[in-house]
């Protein structure tokens, strides 16, 4: 399947293609259109995070595109749902000035992922390169949420396969 979003992908428009590629369509192709030229998008591509898109549009009262995709494709994995909270809080940080308290683990992770996304805008010259370089970070976050519900291994003081945490 082909998917299309606006150019200069960042955060939700990186997390959403990651979700599609990992859980919906492993061979998904992503296309990018300039802002203001969304109506010139390919007719055979599914729009995501494009203003005016009925089901999978940009962040609104229904949440970010990532969460909309979770619901549309009935993905109920608790780790993906936690990632949806991270994406939602990150978008709210940018658009609504949400500032997570110190005990809001998902909000704190969102702020870190926003910094990562900002850096990717500067580091990678193209949208496709940005997706390719960023997916490993989303793979890692998913693995963390799958393994231990978002707490760092150090905070949980659990040994990993190749190292033992002191005091464990």
Question: How many angstroms separate the Cα of 125 from the Cα of each of 17, 119, 151?
Answer: 18, 11, 33
Query: Average pLDDT over the chain, rounded to whole?
Result: 89
Q: Is the dihedral of CA 111, 114, 115, 116 positive or negative?
A: positive
Q: Is the dihedral of CA 112, 122, 124, 48 positive or negative?
A: positive
Terminal-residue alpha carbon distance, the chain: 47
Cα 65 from chain centroid (whole Å): 9
Structure token pair of residue 61: 């009262």
**Cα(81)–Cα(79) distance, integer angstroms:** 5
pTM of the model: 0.87
**Average pLDDT estimate for 146-167:** 56
Per residue in 61-79, pLDDT (tens digit) is 889 999 999 999 999 999 9
Q: How confident is the model at residue 99 (pLDDT cuts 50, 70, 90)?
A: very high
Per residue in 106-139, pLDDT (tens digit) is 999 999 999 999 999 999 999 999 999 999 999 9
Structure confidence at residue 166 (pLDDT): 43
Cα 6 from chain centroid (whole Å): 15
Better-scored residue on pLDDT, 141 or 152: 141
Q: How confident is the model at residue 168 (pLDDT cuts 50, 70, 90)?
A: very low
**Cα(143)–Cα(150) distance, integer angstroms:** 9
Please state whether beta strands 2-6 and 45-47 pair in parallel, antiparallel, or not at all (unpaired): parallel
- 3-state SS assignment for residue 33: strand
Structure confidence at residue 39 (pLDDT): 87
Question: How many angstroms separate the Cα of 146 from the Cα of each of 74, 79, 88, 103?
Answer: 18, 5, 19, 20
Locate the domains of the chain by residue range: 2-156
Helix axes 12-23, 65-72, angle to 10 degrees: 20
Share of the chain above pLDDT 70, in %: 88
Around Cβ 23, how many Cβ atoms within 10 Å?
Answer: 15
């Amino acid at each position: 399947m082909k998917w299309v979003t606006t150019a200069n992908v960042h955060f939700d428009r990186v997390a959403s293609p990651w979700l599609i590629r990992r859980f919906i369509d492993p061979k998904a192709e992503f296309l990018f259109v300039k802002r203001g030229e969304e109506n010139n998008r390919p007719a055979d591509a599914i729009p995501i995070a494009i203003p005016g898109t009925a089901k999978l549009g940009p962040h609104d009262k229904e949440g970010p595109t990532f969460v909309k995709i979770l619901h549309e494709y009935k993905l109920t994995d608790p780790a993906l749902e936690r990632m949806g909270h991270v994406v939602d809080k990150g978008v709210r940080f940018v658009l609504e000035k949400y500032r997570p308290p110190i005990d809001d683990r998902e909000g704190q992770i969102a702020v870190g992922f926003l910094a990562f996304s900002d850096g990717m805008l500067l580091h990678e010259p193209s949208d496709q390169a940005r997706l390719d370089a960023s997916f490993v970070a989303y793979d890692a976050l998913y693995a963390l949420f799958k393994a231990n519900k978002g707490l760092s291994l150090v905070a949980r003081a659990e040994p990993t396969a190749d190292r033992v945490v002191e005091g464990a």
